[in-house]
Amino acid sequence: MPTATNDVGVRRSRADRVYRSRWFLPAFALVLGGGMLAAMWVGGSLREGLYSFALMAGLAFLFLLGGRSETIRGLRGDGRDERFAMIDTRATAFAGSVVIGTLIVAWLVEVARGHSGQPYAWLGAIAGLAYLVGIGILRWRS
Amino acid sequence: MQNDVRALRTAKSFSQEDLARALGVSRQTINSIEKERYTPSLPLALALARFFETTVEEVFHANGNE
């Protein structure tokens, strides 16, 4: 087999290397589960917190051991190549659009019912501002 | 974008897995390129051309401009 570069020329940052580690997503799921447990415990719902932690730990286990699935390896990070990064970006944009659309509809419904529209107005404003900041930064960097 | 990746690969008796491993991408990405569902980035297109010891223009063809 002719030798070809393993690296297609894209330099990876340290953060990117961490993000692409197979341990990142399982660790994130465990930390999130721990946060949910702590929050629910403080809120007086220890049993629900333990269920949530068990669910997140199971998800972490699935991510860690699901090595043959392209989807799991891509989500986990270590199987993420440029095509999966594109899929991830588009999926994130789709999810963001759905959330923003939902916020707008929820805000309109709340206003129509005579309420203030909170917290949907603030969340929508944050989403819009984040989008504008993102456009500005990405324009500046590219 | 139309391409000759499958023809070049099979001419050298490589599997998609071999090519994917050499280029540091997934086998599914090679499959998507061969089926023209995914247009690779310029670095990956260059790496593919180098792998097959040819040029990008010989591997990829703009639609209707072969």
pLDDT tens for residues A9-61?
A: 555 566 666 666 778 888 999 999 999 999 999 999 999 999 999 999 999 99
Q: pTM of the prediction?
A: 0.76
Whole-angstrom distance, CA of residue A110 vs CA of residue A56:
33
Q: Which of B14, B38, B46 sits opposite A9 (nearest CB)?
A: B46
Q: What is the mean pLDDT of chain A?
A: 86
- Contact with chain A for residue B53, Cβ under 8 A: yes
Q: For residue A77, give every residue at least 6 positions away whose Cβ sits within 8 Å of its Cβ, in sequence order, or none.
A: A19, A20, A21, A22, A24, A25
Q: Kindly report whether the peptide bond that precedes residue A2 is cis, defined as omega within 30 degrees of 0.
A: no
Q: What is the 3-state secondary structure (H, E, C) of chain A?
A: CCCCCCCCCCCCCHHHHHHCCCCHHHHHHHHHHHHHHHHHHHCCCHHHHHHHHHHHHHHHHHHHHCCCCHHHHHHHCCCCCHHHHHHHHHHHHHHHHHHHHHHHHHHHHHHHCCCCCCCHHHHHHHHHHHHHHHHHHHHHHC
Closest residue of chain A to B31, computed from CA coordinates: A83
Task: Give the model confidence (pLDDT) of B29-65 as tens digits.
Answer: 999 999 999 999 999 999 999 999 999 999 999 865 4
Inter-residue contact A90 to A74 (CB < 8 Å): no
- Above 90 in pLDDT, residue A67? no
- Chain B: nearest CA to A98, how far in angstroms? 25
Taking CA atoms, B22 is separated from A69, B10, B18, in Å, by 20, 15, 6
- Above 70 in pLDDT, residue A133? yes
Whole-angstrom distance, CA of residue A9 vs CA of residue B13:
25
CB contact under 8 A, B50 and A4: yes
Picking from B26, B19, B24, B27, the residue whose alpha carbon sits closest to that of residue B52 is B19
Inter-residue contact B14 to B5 (CB < 8 Å): no
Task: Give the model confidence (pLDDT) of A49-59 as tens digits.
Answer: 999 999 999 99
- Contact with chain B for residue A10, Cβ under 8 A: yes
B6 versus A64: which is more confidently predicted?
B6
The kind and range of the H/E element at B3 are: strand B2-3
Q: Strand, helix or coil at B47?
A: helix
